[in-house]
A and B are shown apart, each in its own frame.
Chain A
Amino acid sequence: MIDKRVATLADAVAGIADGATVLVGGFGDSGVPVELVHALLDQGARDLTIVTNNAGSGERDVAALIRERRVRKIVCSYPRSAGSIWFEEFWRAGEIELELVPQGTLSERMRAAGAGLGGFFTPTGADTLLAEGKEVRVLGGRRQVFEEPLPGDVALVKAYRADRWGNLVYRTAARNFGPTMAAAAALTVVQVDEFVELGELDPEAIVTPGIYVDRVVRVEVL
């Protein structure tokens, strides 16, 4: 019997090790697994590499992890936002490493990891600062940059509904990085608003099949 549901947020993030690379879903405030990130904060893992599109804002989720000195490095496309005060403070003080990656390359590097590929060539970033030190080839008449896969030890993802097999559907633009990150990590942990019975999700509309998912936890919607 397969049952990926876990009872508590603490169970959901149990065993995440110091030094782990953690993929965190979300774009701005849309689709961020806020409660899972807070559970990781409580769990105590440190020296983390966080892979996420934005570096958090205000005092919550990734910003709180940075504030509490849990993050060694952030891999991200757009760390600056209104309220990204903790990231900026740590960055200025040289206390956090930033690997800046174009957004499509960030996503595709994770996809490559999930797809078992050794990397890919992309025209994105050719002849820019972000290609420095990388192999460049002319392919199809264009200069293209070699990019390596970006696997996670853990992915933290927010979805809308799940069944006990871990099949997922999302809601509107909150889907963003979720499906790619789910496939790219050794341990994929998902928070959802609702559990449904097996068979209740329309098989034509399941976005992330449960094969990519390890743990699912329900978070009470206030």
Chain B
Amino acid sequence: MIQPLSDIDVARRVATDIPDGSYVNLGIGMPTLVADVVGPDKEIVYHSENGILGMGPAPAPGEENPELINAGKQPVTLLPGGSFFHHTDAFMMMRGGHIDLTVLGAFQVSERGDLANWITDVVTHPPAVGGAMDLSVGAKRVLVMTTHVTRDGRPKLLPQCSYPLTAAGVVDRVFTDLAVLDVTPAGFVVREMAPGLTAGELQELTAARLTFADEVGVLSTS
């Protein structure tokens, strides 16, 4: 029987890919879980687009400072060694290649590493992009954390994105509830799969053609 990973299991797997000492920007939503599961053996400096390095966890109730918020507008704290700077500097850090790694959510990822994560439908909702385009072109390594298929079962990993792109050819690795896949010049290469899943079943749930590593690891579930 297939055992898909829970969100927190995916976050744990992503966390193992973050080297000690990294400067990291976590996207809004599912990627923020990663900060909760990075082991205490690693010192990671979290960056926020609104001008924070060394961002810490949410404050205790009653300790919130309404001006000290993260990109998702939730209250956060500053760790010792942390700093504040203005917006232009915050985006210099992104675009200038100073952020080691980012973890982003996605609507779709193509086999060439194109990322679509900002709009699905331009008609009914006003479009909003925020810092997604800057971050995805600028971070040295772009990891995507997402479910393997949409809620109604449609594949998210495609030969080509149908939604408007956030950036072209930027994604390095994708972590889903079913697999870990690298984006390579030959397309998606499966490195690890959820327990109980066969290569054929994973391909069925993926619109892009998959290549499988010589040794495909088994992902852990809690």
Complex CA gap A207/B89 in Å reads 12
Interface residues of A in 130-165 (CB under 8 A from B): 130, 143
Interface status of A119 (Cβ within 8 A of chain B): no
Contact of A103 among B52, B67, B122, B130 (CB under 8 A): B130
Tally B residues with Cβ within 8 Å of A: 39
**Chain A interface (Cβ < 8 Å from any Cβ of B):** 27-31, 55, 77-81, 87-88, 91, 98, 100-105, 107-108, 110-111, 122-130, 143, 170-180, 207
Interface residues of B in 77-106 (CB under 8 A from A): 78, 84-88, 90-91, 94-95
Contact of A130 among B69, B84, B95, B129 (CB under 8 A): B129
Interface status of B37 (Cβ within 8 A of chain A): no
B65 to chain A, nearest CB (A): 6
Contact with A along B137-150 (1 / 0, CB 8 A): 11000000000000
Interface status of B66 (Cβ within 8 A of chain A): yes
Contact of B137 among A111, A124, A129, A172 (CB under 8 A): A124
Contact A173 B126 (CB under 8 A): no
Residues in chain A near residue B4, CB distance under 8 A: none
Complex CA gap A143/B73 in Å reads 32
Residues in chain B near residue A29, CB distance under 8 A: 66, 69, 73
Contact A177 B126 (CB under 8 A): no
Closest to A101 in B: B129
A220 to chain B, nearest CB (A): 17
Closest to B55 in A: A173
Known: A78-B129, A103-B49, A103-B91. A175 touches B86 (CB 8 A): yes
Interface status of B158 (Cβ within 8 A of chain A): no
B112 to chain A, nearest CB (A): 11
Contact A123 B69 (CB under 8 A): no
Contact B131 A104 (CB under 8 A): yes
Interface status of B128 (Cβ within 8 A of chain A): yes
A sample of 4 more A-B contacts (CB under 8 A), given A30-B66, A30-B68, is A103-B131, A104-B138, A124-B95, A173-B50
Closest to B166 in A: A128
Residues in chain A near residue B67, CB distance under 8 A: 30-31, 171-174
Contact of B133 among A88, A125, A173 (CB under 8 A): A125
Contact A172 B134 (CB under 8 A): no
Closest to A207 in B: B86
Q: How many A-B residue pairs have CB under 8 A?
A: 136
Residues in chain B near residue A91, CB distance under 8 A: 126
Contact B73 A104 (CB under 8 A): no
Closest to B136 in A: A124
Interface status of B176 (Cβ within 8 A of chain A): no
**Chain B interface (Cβ < 8 Å from any Cβ of A):** 48-52, 65-69, 73, 78, 84-88, 90-91, 94-95, 122, 125-134, 137-138, 164-168
Known: A126-B137, A171-B67, A176-B51. A108 touches B91 (CB 8 A): yes
Complex CA gap A61/B127 in Å reads 21
Known: A103-B131, A124-B133, A124-B137. A81 touches B73 (CB 8 A): yes
Contact B167 A127 (CB under 8 A): yes
Contact A77 B131 (CB under 8 A): yes
6 contacts across the A-B interface (CB closer than 8 A): A27-B69, A81-B73, A123-B137, A129-B165, A170-B84, A173-B84
* Most central of B69, B73, B133 by chain A CB within 10 Å: B133
Contact B128 A104 (CB under 8 A): no
Complex CA gap A101/B48 in Å reads 19
Contact A175 B128 (CB under 8 A): no
A21 to chain B, nearest CB (A): 18
Contact A127 B165 (CB under 8 A): yes
Contact of A180 among B68, B88, B127, B131 (CB under 8 A): B88
Contact of B50 among A30, A111, A128, A171 (CB under 8 A): A30
9 closest A-B pairs by CB: A104-B91, A104-B134, A28-B73, A174-B67, A127-B168, A102-B133, A103-B131, A80-B128, A78-B130
Contact A80 B51 (CB under 8 A): no
Complex CA gap A176/B65 in Å reads 15
Residues in chain B near residue A122, CB distance under 8 A: 95
Complex CA gap A110/B85 in Å reads 16
